[in-house]
Amino acid sequence: MLDSILGSLKVVTLATKTDFRSVTSREIALFEGPMGWGEFSPFLEYSYEESIPWLLSGIEAAFARIPTSIRNAIEVNATMPAINNPIEIAEILAAFAGAKVIKIKVGEDLTSDFARIACVRELRPEAKIRLDVNGLWNVDEAEEFLKQVGDIEYVEQPCSTIEELRELKLRTGVKIAGDEVIRKAKDPLSVDLAGAIDVLMLKVAPLGGISRALEIANHHQLPVAVSSALESAVGISHGLKLAAAVSKLDFACGLGTGALLAVDVAHLPIVNGSIEVKDVIPDSTALAKYAVSNERLNWWRNRIRKVWEAGAHSIIQEKGWSL
């Protein structure tokens, strides 16, 4: 299997439309298997061990049968990066056609955060608002912000630790969603989420694929939302299939982030606030146009080999995945 992955490997650089948590482009590795295309795109600073679930997710997409979809399309939220220019904010919102929910990145500057939220509310007064903090607040900061912000759907990862989330939950009636607290855990099944969160955020690549993400959701028995890790259309299509397989889906999903990319390898249009669940084949012209240098291609080949050796190979054997 490893030879097959490396033999079909394509790596591209996809620019973003704006700075997204200091990310201005994404290097994406893609490979083809008997079931279709898979994506391997852990952020460049991730260790080999931390990248294992990402490789497993890509291999599942390319080589394994996945759970049956029970939905044909997934409602998505708009995602607003931590930008402050009203014209840029309007341009970003316009890219999410028909989205009725907007997730706003906050946490780095109080004044800018409130101004960004106010701007979004002025432009889309009918939209539901959710916030994503990426664990940047302590409990007191989170409590104070949530007292002032007005009505929101939920706040995602306001504090970094389970203990802080539990304390915050005692102080606020705002729903709390957990992201990093699950996807960065050594064993997501062993994390005790009782009294800490109300909504479980599932991201297909960091959790190791659709089957593993569904196992985590079934174990914790919490309402779920599915989100992306700023993947290409190939990776997003796998996230859509996860959302389509979840037994109960009460929230719009953060799977419209292709709208934040300036270029992509395929087109997954947002139509009336939703994206169709379907297989995605990367465009050959785009693969050539956005291809990395041979030096970077070899870097990614070596990275995949190292992640394979770090533990991915043994997990694949346990799962029985093969050519």
Domain boundaries, the chain: 71-274
Q: Give me the pLDDT at residue 19, please.
A: 80
Q: Give me the pLDDT at residue 99, please.
A: 98
pLDDT digits (tens, 9 = 90+) for 90-120: 999 999 999 999 999 999 999 999 999 999 9
- Distance, in Å, from the CA atom of 70 to the CA atom of 100, rounded to the nearest integer, reads 22
Q: Are 217 and 204 in contact (CB under 8 A)?
A: no
Q: Give me the pLDDT at residue 226, please.
A: 98
Is 203 catalytic? The answer is: yes
10 bridge partner residues: 30
Q: Give me the pLDDT at residue 323, please.
A: 67
Catalytic residue among 203, 278, 289, 319: 203
Q: Give me the pLDDT at residue 321, please.
A: 87
DSSP state of 266: S
Q: Are 164 and 189 in contact (CB under 8 A)?
A: no
Catalytic residue among 105, 128, 184, 278: 105
Is 147 catalytic? The answer is: no
Alpha-helical segments (H) within the chain? 2-7, 48-63, 86-94, 110-123, 139-148, 162-171, 180-183, 204-207, 210-220, 233-245, 284-289, 294-307, 313-319
Name the stretches of the chain with pLDDT < 70: 323
CATH class, domain 71-274, is: alpha beta
- Distance, in Å, from the CA atom of 228 to the CA atom of 239, rounded to the nearest integer, reads 7
Q: Is the pTM of this model over 0.85?
A: yes
